[in-house]
Amino acid sequence: MELNLGPQHPATHGVLRIVVTLDGERVVKAVPHLGYLHRGVEKIVEDLEYFQIPPILDRMDYVANLNNELSYVMAVEKLAGLKVPERAEYVRVILLEFNRIMSHFAWFGPFTNDLGLFGTAFLYGLREREYIQRLFERTTGARMHYNYFTYGGLRHDVPDGFVEEASRLANRLPAVIDEFEYMVEENEVFRLRTIGIGPMDGQTALNFGASGPFLRASGIPIDLRKDEPYSVYDRFDFKVCSASGGDCFARYKVRMDEMRESVKIIQQALEQMPDGPVRAKTTRHIKLPKGEVYMRTEHARGEFGAYIVSDGGERPYRLKLRSPSLSNLMASCVLLPGMVLPDLIATVASVDIVLGCTDR
């Protein structure tokens, strides 16, 4: 029997279509079909000046928007030779780690829904995400498409009371994460639906170009914040969270642990953040020298990269974007044959893909 899972099925977390061949309830073959959300982002930006591109990138992974902006603006800064003020670097890190936590909260709720744990965990995740969202709205002026990072630093400085509000929020988050774990980890349904389900070994994950929590859950502790430190990440004490199971439970656990480490980074950054300007002196209509550059950062879902080719003008000759969701989705599809259909739902949900980034 052939079954179309999607493109409107809520468990595909966007307009993804997976054509599943079944023998009874056992999956024989699973083929993902993309194209339902393709908007030609890489072609659109060829007609835009460099300062106009960040809000387009916000619309790719719309759950971790600032992480999209960072790789691009750092690539521009590298090719242009721009030095970012220290205060701007610290603000970037604080917002990036809050954005990472917010993204994991947005994953946690729907993941528990897909496992059949309806209601409470989903609403708790949305509740905590909203507290961070309010801080972002006060800081950037937007709730979703922030357009806050720009080459040379930030669009504008943080508002009065930012440090105090961010500190209060960071200080309460460890107890919230504990609450989430208490809510689900001893739940019999949660354990049966995650432990031993959809395991992937580290070498297979690497072969498919997987990255982020998905890769680290398979025992490969690669994190660009540690392995190739950028911005001011080398000034903070935090550990890379990994697990050995490679299954749905390991992917859940890595994200829970990762949020705790993000809180530590935020608290250290708030203590160290200096005064000063938040943007280097540069023109809005910047012209990059001829050349090419690639910049990659540790996105909430893995390695997000921006490759720019400049012909010396005010617009990129070519901008190629590397999506962690695409590689992680392709890697996960080798897991699906052989499992029963409900486990396919759990496995795809555990990968944490965003279709705006996967199918761009």
Mind listing the pLDDT tens digit for each residue in 137-159?
A: 999 999 888 999 999 999 999 99
pLDDT of residue 215: 94
Residue 282: CATH number of its domain: 1.10.645.10
Query: Which of 351, 298, 297, 295 shows the shortest CA–CA distance to 325?
Result: 351
In the predicted model, what is the mean pLDDT of the chain?
Answer: 91
For residue 298, pLDDT beyond 80:
yes
pLDDT tens for 41-55 read 999 999 999 999 999
Does residue 233 fall inside a structural domain?
A: yes
Contacts of residue 84, Cβ cutoff 8 Å, sequence gap at least 6: 77, 152, 153, 231, 280
pLDDT for position 35: 86
How many CB atoms are closer than 10 A to CB 56?
20
pLDDT at 282: 87
- Percent of the chain past pLDDT 90, that is, above it, reads 66
Task: Give the confidence band of 124 by pLDDT, cuts at 50, 70, 90.
Answer: confident
E strands, the chain, in order: 2-5, 17-23, 26-33, 149-150, 153-154, 291-299, 302-310, 318-322
In a domain? residue 288: yes
List, in order, residues 6 or more apart from 135 with CB less than 8 Å away: 98, 162, 165, 166, 169
Confidence of residue 119 (pLDDT cuts 50, 70, 90): confident
In a domain, 234, yes or no: yes
**Domain count for the chain:** 1
pLDDT at 121: 82
On the question of pLDDT at 169 being above 90, the answer is: yes
Among the residue ranges 239-243, 347-351, 353-357, the one predicted with the least confidence is: 353-357
Of 150-159, 173-182, 198-207, 327-336, the poorest mean pLDDT is in 327-336
* pLDDT over 70, % of the chain: 100
40: how many CB neighbours lie within 10 A of its CB?
9
Residue 350 resides in a domain: no
Q: Is residue 149 part of a domain?
A: yes
How do residues 66-105 score in pLDDT, each as one tens digit? 999 999 999 999 999 999 999 999 999 999 999 999 999 9
Cβ-contact 255, 112 below 8 angstroms: no
**Using 50, 70 and 90 to split pLDDT, how confident is the model at 234?**
very high
188 has pLDDT over 80? yes
> Distance between CA 340 and CA 24 in Å, rounded?
9
pLDDT (0 to 100) of residue 109: 86
Residue-level pLDDT at 74: 96
Does residue 23 belong to any structural domain of this protein?
Answer: no
Asked if residue 46 is part of any domain, the answer here is: yes
Only one residue has tokens 């000063």, namely 276
pLDDT value for 114: 85
Report, as an integer, the average pLDDT of 22-50: 90
Closest residue by Cα to residue 247 from 205, 207, 195? 195
- Domain span holding position 74: 40-324
Which residue did the predictor score with more confidence, 175 or 120? 175
User: Regarding predicted confidence, which is higher, 4 or 119?
Assistant: 4
Task: State the pLDDT at residue 15.
Answer: 84
* Mean pLDDT value of segment 322-330: 90
Look at residue 34 and tell me if it is in a domain: no
Mean pLDDT for 307-312 is 95
